[in-house]
Amino acid sequence: MTTSGHTTVADRAANAPLRVMFVHAPDPVYSNTQTYGAIFMPVWAYTLAAHIPDDLGVELMLHDTRVQKVDDIPEADIYLFSGINQDAPFMERIRGQLKTRFPKARSIVGGPLAWSFDQAGTLDRFANFDHVFIGDGEACIAQLIQDVRDGQPMEHLIKSPGRFEIAKAKPMHRGLMDATISRYYGAVIEVSRGCPFLCEFCDIRIMDDNNRPHNKNADLIVEELDHLCSLGVSQILFACDNFIGEPRWAEMVIDKILDWKARTGHTPSLYTWLTINLNNHPELMDKMRRAGFDMLFIGIESFSKNSLLETAKVQNSSTELTQVVREIQSRGFIIVGGLIFGFDSDDEDCFDITLKGLTDAALLSGDPSLLTALPGTPLYRRMKLSGRLRDVRFGLGGYKYQTNIRYLLPRRTMIDGYKHFVDVFTDGAYQYERLKAFFDLQAEGHHVPIEGQGFGNTGLFLKMVFKNWRALLQLTQRLTRFSLNPKRVYYALKGFGMAFSRRKQVPNWFGYFQFWLFAWTNAALKYLNLSDADFDIESVPEGFDIHDILPKDYGSTAAEPIPAGKIKAQLRSTTAQLESVIERKTAVG
């Protein structure tokens, strides 16, 4: 379909610059409950802005609805949107308001949610946007803007001709960054794309040529670090799908950061995403600590080997998971563990298994989600083939949990089990036990101190919170509700005393204590008065044939753009485990 009838830039004054506005508009409910006031810069805007040439005569602007009012978005010629799936309703609302106020402006939506909706066949949700862009935008953004400026005919749906080679990335837009970075708790540097692993539920592997690492130039990463530190930024997130997807590249990056730190004296605190096989690289772990890596996100998913085999999480299932987590954390890392309930292999005891696993692994975090089938993934295909997909409009309604698959475990079991998990997880004695276990780990002799305050900075966090009335209200609610429970207050004070007593062994003792308390109070706030009404979930209907968890066409319909051998490896693992589930449940039945 060709877009027509728009007023073009040719209708404007000849010397007027084209005004391009990046609109960062995450769903407010999701955003507030995920960050609690510690918001990070929208890296997508700075990245795309860097690929818009100066000679296009463009005035670039950024409006972030987390820190600026929607009604204050100024007039522009082009409004660019990006986000994740649950952001769609909020972005559509803003698009509608802007269309009413500035009817001549163009609206373009892209990013992860556009790709995901394309996979799901639900792009009609973006019918009111002037254009929908699918794919990496770096190589196409300049032409898109030029076509708008020149009044060229443009399709409603525009797809990138291929993946952007991140090794050719440009430095993030300095002007936009310098003008806006002070709004944020921390910065983001995208360092790589792609992951070589095969998790059934993950949509990273199915993106074109994304089942392998694509890495940014190490010198550019250090250049970005240097500029951010010169602006006073000390909390920096390395965004990627798997930082150690290519361990030799990761070590090269770390070596360059260590050299840069020695030259400049900067001591940023770093956070990134990676996989559990980091434990295979002890020297790299030590270097990462010295480079400033304080926190790591690792997909633990489950402490049940059967559930890990089901999703082909081979890097986790081939190890003694709790011991490996302990070994990584013994260096001083805080592992923020991703956890999931709802695998077909899960039994009623999965909630207690997770609670025990968190304690045994000495994890300070632990905020599970419920299994969701992301469009395009093998899990999505399996659920669709077996008739287990639900038509859920993510982001609508007041649910804490809303998923699009029907679980094998009964709905009542899922809800009661989750509530039980919450009750135990937020209990003071349970929280204290995990904090003490973490500090005991640091006494084993592997701890590597970091310079700087760590990724959690109370002073900076409070400074950000007092700029955002929603975050301030949330902080007030957090402290009030937490303090009304005498048992929690007792264990919080006991935790502080224990952590303080370890200050000589663990130089960053307060950083660990504040992360533990922050995560605990987050959970107490998030799960307050958790009720059945917070769950929009379903289970398979009565009489469901257990054989249908493994549809006969599951293997023959696998067609991801990855090597055939890798597709077969995931199918072997998932199929074998689901067959064992069928055998076990058939025998019981």
pLDDT, tens digit, 9 for 90 and up, residues 202-236:
999 988 899 999 999 999 999 999 999 999 999 99
- Coil, helix or strand for 129? coil
Q: Which CATH number fits domain 2-166: 3.40.50.2300, 3.20.20.70, 3.40.1710.10, 3.10.129.10?
A: 3.40.50.2300
Tokens for 245, please give them: 């997807």
Angle made by CA atoms 512, 517, 522, in degrees to the nearest 5: 130
Residues 529-535, mean pLDDT to the nearest whole number: 92
Residues 173-199, mean pLDDT to the nearest whole number: 95
- DSSP letter (8 states) at residue 182: G
Q: In the structure, what pLDDT confidence band is assigned to residue 3 with cuts at 50, 70 and 90?
A: very low
Segment (H or E) for 348: none
Q: What is the pLDDT of residue 7?
A: 44
Q: In the structure, what pLDDT confidence band is assigned to residue 454 with cuts at 50, 70 and 90?
A: confident
- On whether the CB atoms of residues 554 and 320 are closer than 8 A, the answer is no
Residues 489-498, mean pLDDT to the nearest whole number: 97
Which of 267, 180, 170, 179 shows the shortest CA–CA distance to 225? 267
Query: What is the Cα–Cα distance from 385 to 380, expressed in whole angstroms?
Result: 9
CA-CA-CA-CA torsion sign (270, 274, 277, 280): negative
Query: What is the Cα–Cα distance from 260 to 53, expressed in whole angstroms?
Result: 29
Statement: residue 105 has pLDDT above 60 = yes
Q: What is the pLDDT of residue 335?
A: 96
Give the chain's mean pLDDT. 91
Place of tokens 């038509």: 391
Which of 181, 160, 270 shows the shortest CA–CA distance to 221? 270
Query: What is the Cα–Cα distance from 166 to 476, expressed in whole angstroms?
Result: 42
Superfamily of domain 185-442: Aldolase class I (3.20.20.70)
Query: Which region among 35-44, 187-196, 287-296, 412-421 has the lowest average model confidence (pLDDT)?
Result: 35-44
Query: What is the Cα–Cα distance from 30 to 395, expressed in whole angstroms?
Result: 8
Which amino acid would we find at residue 404?
A: N
Q: What is the pLDDT of residue 5?
A: 42
Q: What is the pLDDT of residue 186?
A: 92
Residues 96-113, mean pLDDT to the nearest whole number: 96
- On whether the CB atoms of residues 111 and 83 are closer than 8 A, the answer is yes
Which of 5, 1, 142 shows the shortest CA–CA distance to 80? 142
Q: Tell me the Ramachandran region of residue 160: left when phi exceeds 0, alpha when psi lies from -120 to 50, beta otherwise.
A: beta
Segment (H or E) for 335: strand 334-341
- Percent of the chain at pLDDT > 90 equals 78
Q: What is the pLDDT of residue 1?
A: 34
pTM of the model: 0.92
Q: What is the DSSP string of 414-479?
A: HHHHHHHHHHHHT-HHHHHHHHHHHHHHHTTS-----SSS-S--HHHHHHHHTT-HHHHHHHHHHH
Query: What is the Cα–Cα distance from 145 to 525, expressed in whole angstroms?
Result: 44
Crossing angle, helix 428-442 and helix 321-329, to 10 degrees?
Answer: 60
Statement: residue 444 has pLDDT above 70 = yes
What phi, psi does 20 have (nearest 5°)?
-115, 120
DSSP bridge pairs for 298: 274, 337
Place of tokens 């309930």: 341
Q: In the structure, what pLDDT confidence band is assigned to residue 12 with cuts at 50, 70 and 90?
A: low
User: Would you tell me how many other CB atoms lie within 10 Å of the CB of residue 80?
Assistant: 28
Which of 302, 259, 256, 251 shows the shortest CA–CA distance to 280? 251
Which amino acid would we find at residue 185?
A: Y
Statement: residue 114 has pLDDT above 90 = yes
Statement: residue 416 has pLDDT above 60 = yes
Segment (H or E) for 12: none
Query: What is the Cα–Cα distance from 383 to 386, expressed in whole angstroms?
Result: 5
Domain residue spans in the chain? 2-166, 185-442
What phi, psi does 487 have (nearest 5°)?
-65, -40
- On whether the CB atoms of residues 539 and 411 are closer than 8 A, the answer is yes
Query: What is the Cα–Cα distance from 431 to 219, expressed in whole angstroms?
Result: 42
Statement: residue 357 has pLDDT above 50 = yes
Statement: residue 397 has pLDDT above 70 = no
Statement: residue 17 has pLDDT above 80 = yes
Q: Alpha-carbon dihedral of residues 12, 14, 15, 18, nearest 10 degrees? A: 40
Query: What is the Cα–Cα distance from 342 to 372, expressed in whole angstroms?
Result: 9
Residues 258-280, mean pLDDT to the nearest whole number: 96
Q: What is the pLDDT of residue 63?
A: 97
Q: What is the pLDDT of residue 476?
A: 82
- Do the bridges between strand 154-155 and strand 2-3 make them parallel or antiparallel, or are there none, so unpaired? antiparallel
What phi, psi does 89 have (nearest 5°)?
-60, -40
Which residues have CB under 8 Å from 230's CB, separation 6+? Answer: none
Q: What is the DSSP string of 193-250?
A: E------TT-STTTSTT-SS-EE--HHHHHHHHHHHHHTT--EEEEE-S-TTSSHHHH
Interior/surface letters 398-418, b for 16+ CB within 10 angstroms, e for the rest:
ebbbbbbbbbbbeeebbbebb
